Structure 1
């Protein structure tokens, strides 16, 4: 649980330190801008931008019932962030499994990727797709009811 917040915390603390140094040297505008940039980086790398994660078994059960894709991801992964941001509002239509919180999810990622925990791995109709193009994933979503 702690490691999912390590990178965002480092961005926030590092940004505060850099901003404080800039403010002390008489550049309050630069300090404020730097702090905002670092806090934005902290937010983007946090698990908060992702829909609430579920366990792999629960995600597979829901996916079998409604056909929605399952995404294996982990906090701090730039490709996962890219997928999440490019999907926009559609991200909530997928089931997100945090492999750092779910051992079965990590095992599924290793099984799909020759022993590596490569993410994002998107399961559509039970078939794994490693780091797919976000536009392609969006196309695979069935129309909203």
Structure 2
């Protein structure tokens, strides 16, 4: 994948989610179902994980998708929908693919969803500063920045 195309409505929805969740990370999916692109916002449960294990990151620096992710993942596995992109925000940081992002997106150093793009949204002082797209590069075995086209 060298380019990820999303609708202007999807871009607006993920940007609004990132701002609404600030100063914590937002997360969710852009899916395609029956030929229609949809944004599915997912609750970031990282604060609950942090409360149970205070050594772990909290929702300002990490995300863990809540139970709303399950139907999307099951639907994808059943062929009922396509995960076009997985998105999350970086509050008060740049839009880059971090080591933590890599851990979230892979299992045993393989991408969990190799055909899905990864969108990272930079939010500073409550405003979106940048949205960047990344995709798995099998040759380099990493997520590389790709072109994001908003239609």
Whether TM-score is above 0.5 comes out as no
Q: Which has the higher strand share?
A: 2
Q: Which has the higher contact order (CA 8 A, sep 6+)?
A: 2
Larger radius of gyration: 1
What TM-score, normalized to structure 2?
Answer: 0.25
Q: Which structure carries more helix by proportion? A: 1
